[in-house]
Amino acid sequence: MSQESYPYAPPPATPQTSGLAIGSLIASILGLTLLPTIGSIIGLILGYMARNQIRDSGGMMGGEGLAQAGIIIGWVGVGLTVIGLCLGLLGLALGFAIPGVTICAGLGNTF
């Protein structure tokens, strides 16, 4: 009786998820909730770094979807910040330009 030996084939390795991609997503979500603007900017930086790291790894690293989500959410946070600043400046400009609508106009008048 002869026994044939088969070569051992390890299971295919799953690519390791990039820590930068996970950090990007977390920072971008924090940029919409607890750390406005700062979290979004950090999420953008980490997202672009993670995307480059994943592409340079040649398929050995995963998480490109997480990095892309971090980048998108980061840009949404930055966009909301810009819109908020524009609306705030517009409100200040209109408040000073229209008589009777000025902010705190009557506080200086004491009788």
pLDDT digits (tens, 9 = 90+) for 39-74: 999 999 999 999 999 999 988 999 999 999 999 999
pTM of the model: 0.75
Tens of pLDDT, residues 2-11 = 667 777 777 7
Region 5-33: mean pLDDT is: 89
Mean pLDDT of 7-24: 86
Instruction: Specify the long-range contacts of residues 59-65, CB closer than 8 Å, at least 24 apart.
Output: 59/15, 60/15, 60/16, 61/15, 61/16, 61/17, 61/18, 62/14, 62/15, 62/16, 62/17, 62/18, 63/17, 63/18, 63/21, 63/22, 64/21
**Position with higher pLDDT, 95 vs 18:** 18
